[in-house]
Structure formats: structure tokens, C-alpha cells
Structure 1
Amino acid sequence: MSPAPRPSGTSPDPAEAPGSPGPARASAPTGEPARPASPEPAAASAASAGRPLAAHPASGWDRARFERTADELLLAVRPYASEGRAQIRLPGVPSHNGTWSDGLEGFARTFLLAAFRLAGAGGADPHHLAEWYADGIRAGADPSSPERWPTFAESNQAKVEAASLALALHETRPWIWDRLPERTREQVLAWLGAMVGDAMPGNNWIWFQAVTEAFARTAGGAWSEADLTRTVELTDTWYTGDGWYSDGLTGGAHRNHDHYNGWAMHFYPLWFCRILGDAAPDGLLDRYRARLRRFLDDARHLVGGNGSPLLQGRSLTYRFAALAPVWTGALFDATPLPPGQTRRLAGLMLGHFTGHGATDENGLLTLGWHRPFRPILQVYSGPASPYWASKGFAGLLLPPGHPVWTATEEPLPVERADFDRTLTAPGWLVSGTRADGVVRVANHGGDHADPARPHSDDPLYGRLGYGTHTAPETPGDPRGGPVDSSAVLVDDAGGASHRRPLERLSVAGRTAVSRSRAHWPDDERWDCFGGPDTTYRLGPWITVASVLRGPLEVRIARVDPAPETPEHPAHPGPFRLRLGGWALPRTPQDPAATTHQAPPTATVAGSGLHSTVVSLNGFDHAEVHEGTGSNALGPASATPALRTGGPPRWAHPYAAAVHLSGRPLTQAELPRLHLCANPATGAVEALVSWPDGVEDTVLLPAPAAPGCAPAAPCSAPAGARPAPLTPESTPATSESAPTAGATTPTSDAADAPAAAPTAKESAHDA
């Protein structure tokens, strides 16, 4: 069910509420907008006081607990094995690959877990893992067996599972591979050999080929030097710096940043070197180790104090597979994390999922995040897909005496102190707050979309914000359009514009800016690989800036006219600009959501968190959008939002404070916002002055398109405070200041930048 808006005004304005002093307005110095008052949601604070957010839960995970959990997962799947054990066919909706392929997936992915468990114990095998999986290998590799595995020609997905089989066979050589009958080993190598020369897709799949052929090479099977060389070369072209890979290219650009960077693009290259040993190309191991070490310095900042990884990108049902690069760093001496921090991170993450319903009553990993939740799945997700999480147990290969298992736990970065971090490779601003353990990301980088054409927004890539304690709204019915963590245009029918593809304009310090062409797809179904072929109606440009510090983001948006194109029809409008905050899961026990109108403010409380949006400039109304069955963290959810009362003015900066925290937002936390316009270029510069005196400046350039001046910085001297926007007396709807969706007058003024917003208007909302 798509989220539905609740009209503003459903709760009394604080100025009218009995016993309320109303929102105090601070007087503003000449030429400087006042800071808006933010009503203290006292009721919400009191109601949440009994359920404080657990920012720093104890880990309690030692090696023995990891082993017990691995055993529980392995034993739980056995009742679903075929007679010969070559297939593990778990209950549930099959993937688009079919049940035959899904059964191989169940065997291969759990075999990898069994390999880590068996090899890590030095062959000690109380549950007879070696015998059990050896039986399955004999039946699956035999082409005459009724349980034979599908060939690569019969199932493309089998190539993925071949890599898990190869890794597991390598790690268990003394206990499984070396003891298999000669005929079975020949059959396994023949089955793997079909990978040689295969034209693999241009993403992490190339490493399935490389790892498979590396094992085959060491076992006397077929392999190709050209295949291995191609894999290494392509991987280097996808490296974007600072430890980050794009999972292949989209539209020839590095736009695919997600968890595959860690659990595939860093994981497989080092295991490739491990399998080949001295036969690995010179210098390759050191190169991959250095890249992983750099990545992990960022990755540890993307884990919340609750142990959750960032809820962003595809294949989220793999859950604690996000530990794969962390364990790989420890195994290959390629990590900046102290041993105690490695164990704490791993324990918190595994505990986060096991403590939030990742397994069902039969002990099986479900398709979802905290619970079964199909909207975050992809077409390739089948009942056994979650067992990619087996990589989260790779640390069992570290011997019991390793410092990771013996050192005292050390806190994660978000448990030590607040931090702000700029990740230029993916185009993310990151903020962590110690008090609540929340990590937030402002996304102005990759969106897994071809920049050459419009796409429907995949909620896992197209949102402006992602976090460790929040999930994007992913409704089963996509026709509601983007609501949470967004800046969109909404037409009279209620249709919201989509963002992908976005263009990154700048990412520096605590600021980032991106631009996209508003568009409305006729078919709004999303797909991270492009989505269905459909017609798009095109609208104006939307430029969005984020200034992220602590629990608060200042988000600024401007709307500019865009030319019509022959490929897609234009959307005539009119539109209203809507800005959505963080979506939160909610229960009946959570405080009621609130909206106020002086200034427009909306607040949602849930799961011990508070999500608030406050207008700083230009918005007229506050509202709350409620969702049912649209959030991975709970069956009910809500999102606070702001919108304009009419069409937005061209080039006018609309701004809001977007807040996510374990405590309610207070007036004292709100920054001052100073805006200036450059009439010669159309650029808008914003100066954000934080209450503690720290300042950030960000530029929103005009698009280089008809009707818009080219981008250039404001003319204020370096380090000077921008002057307020110059007054103008024309109404916002006059011809000299055209609005989005309005008919543009055919006059000389129509081709000039819209008149600057007035200082009076800035002071009214800021």
C-alpha cells in the first residue's frame, strides 16, 4: 500500500494549543533572517522516555558463539535437502532462475558456511559436515544423477554458485576435495571448466569466473590466462579511489556503489590471490590489500551503534554478508581496525540481525531484513539467496588464539564520538552521532542508473538519505512515487517526480550538490538495472544541496526550466515542490505524529528516534505521509514532509532542516541560513551558520540550459558573509518571476534568470 499524506493541521498550531506559549521568534539583525522556532514535542519526548534508544549494546560475541550460530544455520537447512544432498530446496517463492537453480544455490552457499566452520576448527567435525557435503558434491557433479547441478548454459546463476563451491573446496581440501573419488573430482572440474572463455557480465560476476578458474588451475582443471588477465584489468578500471569500486560501469560511468564493493569487489580478489598462492600475479596481493585497508577505514564509519550496516543498495537480504570485507581485512592483514574493534563490529552486526528476526521459527534465514520483506528483493532473489550471508562467518578461519578473538573489544567510531566524513568516491556525506549511535548518509553520487536516459527511482539507490537506523520506503505499489528523503515535484494528480539519473555537481567537506531532471514514468516499477521500457514525461531541473552536520541536514532545492526533448513528452504541470524527511517505523505505542505551521514543521517519532523537517525558507505546509507494508523495519511507518502551497518559483532557493536523532529537535539546534544570488550567473550561494559558530557555504549553480544562466560562484569576496537576497516587489506569480509549471511569457524577460527572492521572504521562513 503506497504511503498516503495526512493533511497539515491535524494537530493544533502551538500558538493556539492550550497551555502552549507558541513558537517564539527571535529578532533578526538588519539583513539577517531570523532562526525559526521549533516547537518542543514534549509529549513525544515523554512518551519515548520509557523506551530509550540503545546506542551502545554489549556485544557478547566470542568465537564459540559464532561457531554455535554457524552450526544452527547449517543444521536448520538439512531437512530441505534432496535425497542425495546435492540440492537444498528451501520453502518460499522461487527466484526467476527457477527451483533447480535455487536448489544449487542452497547447496553452494551453505557449503561455503560449512567450509569456514570446518576449516576454522582444523577439521574437527562434530556434525559430519565433510561427509554431508561430500555426498552432495558426488550427486551434483555426476551428469547422470537425477540431482545433477544445472550447467552454466542451463542456468546463468550457476556461475555465481560455482565461485562459492570453488572457495569452499579450496578451504576444505584436506577433508573433502582430497578424499573425493577421482571420478568425482574429474566431474567437478568438467562442470567448472565450462566457465573458461565465458563472456561474463561486466560487474562483480567476472570474479566468479576468476575464482573458479583459479581453483581449477590448482586442481589440474581448465583455466584461461586471458580470463584471469581480463578480470584483473577490468577491476582496475572500476576502481574509483579511496578504497572504493564501482560494481562495473553504468553508461560508462562509476555509478554503482553499494555493498558489492565490500562483499564482492574486495572479497574475491584477495581470495583469488589466496587460492593461487605464489602463482598470483606479482604485486597483486599487495595492491588489493592496500585498497581494502583504505576502504575499511570508511566502512567502519558506516556501521551504526546498533550494529546495523547501511540500509542502501541491492541484495540487502544478504544482511551480515556486510562483514565479508571486515573478516577479509583481518585474514589478510589488510585492515586499519584494531583486533578488538573487528570483533565488536562483527558481533554487533551478527547480533543485530539474529536479535531482530532474521531467522524464522525453523531457523532459516528469511528473505528480508529484520523480517520477511519482499519489496527490497530483486528478481534473482530466491529462498536460499540470504545464505550469501555465509561470508559473515569467514572470520572463523582465524585461529582461536588470534588477537581478534582474544583482545578486549574496542568501540566503533560512532561509539567513540560524533563524526562527519566525506566519501568522494560514492558521493556521500556521512554523519555519526554518539548519543544515539545513528549513522546517516546524504547521497549525491552514484544511483546505479545510466545517465543517458531517465529511470524510475529505485528506493535503494535514488533517495537523498540512507541510514543505519532507517529504511527507505519501498511500497508494494510504486505509484505513490518518492516521499522519504527526497526533493520532488508533485503534479495535480499527486504524482511525484523521479530523480534517477542524478548528476553530481560537488562533494566537499560537509556539503554536496546534485541535479536531476524531474520526470514522471508511465510505468513506475523500479529495477536497479534500468527498469521497464516506458514513456517518461519530462519536467524542470531540480538542483539539491545538502549540508550535513551531526543529526541535522540543511537541504536546499531550486527548480529551473528545462528544454523540451523529442524523445519524451513534456509534463505541463502545474507542480508543487515537496521535501521529505526520514521515514521511521511506527507502532501503536509511539507518540502521534505532529504538524505545525509557524514555521511549517512535521515530526514523526518511532523506534526511539525522532524525524523532523522544519522550513527554513519558502515552504508553506507541513504534512505526514503514512505507509503500510512499505518499510523493511516494520509493518507501519511514517514520513514527515513539507510542500509549497503553489508552484515553486524558478531559481528560488527552498530550504529546510532535516533532523534524525534519538531526541527531539530543539530551537537551539537550528542553524541560521543566509542566501545570496548572483544576478549575472543565476547561482545561489547559501551560508549555513551553526549555533556553535561553525559555518558552511554551498553553491547551487543554475543549469547550463535555455532560460538559465551558466553556473559561476557568487561575487562575494572569499570568506565574506553573503549579502541577503535583494528585495523585489513583484508577486511570486507575476510574469517577471515565472513559476514551475506556469506558461513562460514570450518576452525578453522570459529568457533571463527569474528575479531573486526577497529578503523579506527569506526572513519570513528562515
Structure 2
Amino acid sequence: MKMETSDRLYWVETMCQIANPVLHALKNRELKQIMPAGHEDRSLYAPLEALGRTLTGIAPWLESGESVGREGELREAYAELARQSIEAGTDPESPDYMVFSYDYQPIVDAAFLAHAILRAPNELWFKLKPQVQQHVIEALRSTRTRKPGYNNWLLFSAMIECALYKMGSDWDPMRIDYALRQHEQWYKGDGVYGDGPNFHWDYYNSFVIQPMLVDILEAVGDQHADWNSLREPVLQRAVRYAGVLERMISPEGTFPAIGRSLVYRFGAFQHLSHMALREELPDEITPAQVRCALTAVIQRMIDMPGTFDQEGWLTMGFCGYQPELSESYISTGSLYLCSTVFLPLGLPAQAPFWHDEPKAWTSREVWSGGQIAIDHAIK
């Protein structure tokens, strides 16, 4: 079997291993009953966290992954599981009905669910039953009663409004405009934004900020001239930041354990995966380099004992079971943001990302005495 085929198979199998407990529990409408809570005081929010974060990662694969063979069969099955999960989580009569209209955390994970629907509109929206669509719209609208934080959370409110726009529902352009304007003010240079007015050494540019900025402008950028004018600079910064992330992956497939929310594991590379999915990587980085680098990271983390509990749920930790790294806002559901590393599975198997021969990523090449491009900053 060719290496690139093996990589794709490994990614699909690992993604399904991660998603399985969440989606099967929701299909059976027993997620609240059986999912470990993590921090007990977060149990109210954990189900929506698990649903939104799992789906936003696997959505491109559900929408445009392979349609034939074993992968095609899996994709069809998981798309149906995803629709059943959305129905279970938004049906007021379901035992797994999720909290959308209380407190602040649901703003975050309603946005991840909205992002998933934007990434897979055919599989996760148009194929929903009309009643389920209405439930989703009502759930998203219910988040408007609270104010998001003055930081990356502005993008959560904006993402929800983008989804409502795409669903043909009433939407509030002001929430989108505010998020875009503030992040433009918070741009710090060389491809990174502050999380609010201040810069933080963490992975929130990848967890949230840059993937949502790019996709919000993709979804509604043509609605206003000033939004449209942001597309080019936002994309230029996104390309630069993707290059920075690729260079942060060591020859051994590790990366700096820096900043908060480290228990999202390889979700730290959502943005690099997103730019690979969009086929908008920096010129000096090939898709095969990114595939090989991310595969090394995934293997390094997944293979560490303690990553999963005996029932297959993700555990608190960065590399294995390390509960001391979970902040007070973390639940078991939070951990499923790691699924966003799998975004490139939305590319066909014949795309260069999957089809090209293996190639050493930047740090592996340079630390082996090889030749790499000089790195350059941007404004």
C-alpha cells in the first residue's frame, strides 16, 4: 500500500475512533447519561461542546470525502449519525436536548455547530428534516440573549449569524461587523491577532480566530464592500500563520506546550489543516509536507497511553492523561475540538495533499541538514 493511501486510512480511522463515542451516544439519546463530565460544574455545557466540536472537525469529510469503497461507506454512515446527533441535541423532547439559552458557554459551542453546518451545508443542513432545521434555527437564535466576551468570543456570535444567513433566517449583520472590525484593530502583525486587545502566547489564533475569520468572510464577505475589502489581508495573514504553525512541528512530531487549552491536543493545528483544505498553503510549503507533519503529531498524541479511557472517551491531557492541564472551563466535551485537525479529509484522495509522495516537513528537513526557504515576516 502506498504511503499516502496509508496516511489517509489512518486519519479516517483515527477520526472515527475519536468521534464514535459522541455520535453513537447521541444516536441512542444517552449522551448526557454516559459521557464523563470532567469538571462536574461543566456538565451542563459538555453535551453541546461535544456535538459542536466533533462536527466542526469532521464536517468537510462528511460533505466531500470519498464516496466509494470502505471510506465511502463510513462517510455515509457517519453523515447519518451526525444528522441524528443534531436532531437529538436540538429536539426539546429529547433526553439529550442541549442547553443553548442559559449562561455564556453555549454561545461558544452553538458557534462550533454553526461552523460545522457552514462546512457541510448539504449533509448537515439540507438533508435535515424541516422540523429539525427549525429546531436548529431556534437554538441558534436563543444565544442572542447574552453578550459575548470582548475577545475571540465576538467571532462566535458572528459565526452564528453567518449560519442563520445561510439558512435563510433573519440575521444580524451588526454582530458580524463588530467582530470583523474589532479583530482588524486587534491584529498584531506578522500573521497573528490578539485575543482581544492583548496578545497571548497560546493557540487561539488556530483554535478559533483565523479559521472563523476566513470562513465568515467566505460566507458573507460579498454582503458589504468593507467586508469584501478585508478578504485579501485576512487571507494573507492566514497563509503566513499557517506557515508559522508548520514550522512549529518538530522533527519528532511534537510542538510547544504553550498557553491555555492545551488539552485540545492537535486541535492546535486547526488553522494549518484549514488552509490545507482550502489549498492555500504558503508557496514554500507543499501539501505533502503538511500531511506528513500532521500525521506525525497525531500519531505522537494518539499513541500515548491514557489518551482514551476504557470506554473510548478522550481524557483530560495534552499527551496522555494529564488532568492538571485542564482549566476550570474544560469539560470532556471540550476536548473534542481536536477533531479539527482532520479537515483535509474533505479533499479528494487524488488531491496533492493525499496523493503526493511523502516529504519531510520544514523542521525535519532543516534539522537533517537539508535545504529550506528563508522565512520572512509580513506586515
Tell me if TM exceeds 0.5: yes
Cα 1:211–1:95 shift into 2, 3 Å = farther
Aligned to 1:110: 54
Counterpart selection for 2:234 from 288, 292, 300: 288
Q: Is the 8 A contact 1:162 1:212 kept in 2?
A: yes
Structure with the bigger percentage of strand? 1
Matched, 1:67 2:12: yes
Cα 1:59–1:317 shift into 2, 3 Å = farther
Q: Which amino acid aligns with 1:62?
A: D
Counterpart selection for 2:313 from 364, 375, 378: 364
Counterpart selection for 1:383 from 332, 339, 350: 332
Equivalents in 2 of 1:120, 1:363: separation in Å?
27
Equivalents in 1 of 2:322, 2:172: separation in Å?
41
Displacement of 1:117 in angstroms is 3.0
**SS state at 1:174 partner:** helix
Point out the more displaced range, 356-365 or 292-301: 356-365
Q: Is the 8 A contact 1:196 1:223 kept in 2?
A: no
Matched, 1:267 2:211: yes
Aligned to 1:84: 29
Displacement of 1:59 in angstroms is 9.7
Counting aligned pairs with the same residue, the percent is 24
Displacement of 1:373 in angstroms is 1.1
Displacement of 1:61 in angstroms is 5.6
Displacement of 1:314 in angstroms is 0.4
Displacement of 1:95 in angstroms is 4.9
Displacement of 1:141 in angstroms is 1.9
Counterpart selection for 1:409 from 337, 358, 363: 358
Deviation string 1:450-488 (CA, Å, 9 cap, x unpaired) is: xxxxxxxxxxxxxxxxxxxxxxxxxxxxxxxxxxxxxxx
Matched, 1:307 2:253: yes
Q: Which amino acid aligns with 2:78?
A: L
Cα 1:92–1:181 shift into 2, 3 Å = closer
Runs of 5+ unmatched residues, structure 1: 1-57, 419-433, 436-766
Equivalents in 1 of 2:107, 2:118: separation in Å?
17
Aligned to 2:287: 339
Pairwise CA RMSD: 2.5
Equivalents in 2 of 1:196, 1:235: separation in Å?
20
Aligned to 2:38: 93
**SS state at 2:188 partner:** strand
**SS state at 1:360 partner:** coil
Equivalents in 2 of 1:269, 1:87: separation in Å?
32
Displacement of 1:297 in angstroms is 2.7
Counterpart selection for 1:180 from 110, 114, 128: 128
Cα 1:307–1:417 shift into 2, 3 Å = same
**SS state at 2:170 partner:** coil
Structure with the bigger percentage of helix? 2
Deviation string 1:651-705 (CA, Å, 9 cap, x unpaired) is: xxxxxxxxxxxxxxxxxxxxxxxxxxxxxxxxxxxxxxxxxxxxxxxxxxxxxxx
Q: Is the 8 A contact 1:207 1:269 kept in 2?
A: yes
**SS state at 2:289 partner:** helix
Equivalents in 1 of 2:66, 2:358: separation in Å?
25
Alignment of 1:91-170 (within 5 A): 91-97=36-42, 99-121=43-65, 124-126=72-74, 128-152=77-101, 154-170=102-118
Equivalents in 2 of 1:190, 1:277: separation in Å?
24
Displacement of 1:82 in angstroms is 7.3
Q: How many residues align?
A: 357
Q: Which amino acid aligns with 1:405?
A: W
What is the TM-score when the length of structure 1 is the normalising length? Answer: 0.44
Alignment of 1:377-456 (within 5 A): 377-418=326-367
**SS state at 1:240 partner:** strand
Q: Which amino acid aligns with 1:345?
A: A
Equivalents in 1 of 2:104, 2:112: separation in Å?
14
Equivalents in 2 of 1:140, 1:80: separation in Å?
11
Displacement of 1:196 in angstroms is 4.0
Point out the more displaced range, 132-141 or 317-326: 132-141
Deviation string 1:576-626 (CA, Å, 9 cap, x unpaired) is: xxxxxxxxxxxxxxxxxxxxxxxxxxxxxxxxxxxxxxxxxxxxxxxxxxx
Q: Is the 8 A contact 2:26 2:85 kept in 1?
A: no
Structure number with higher relative contact order (C-alpha < 8 Å, ≥ 6 residues apart): 2
Equivalents in 2 of 1:88, 1:270: separation in Å?
36
Deviation string 1:50-105 (CA, Å, 9 cap, x unpaired) is: xxxxxxxx9996222211111222224456447436758522533533x2311222
Cα 1:369–1:88 shift into 2, 3 Å = farther
Q: Is the 8 A contact 1:207 1:231 kept in 2?
A: yes
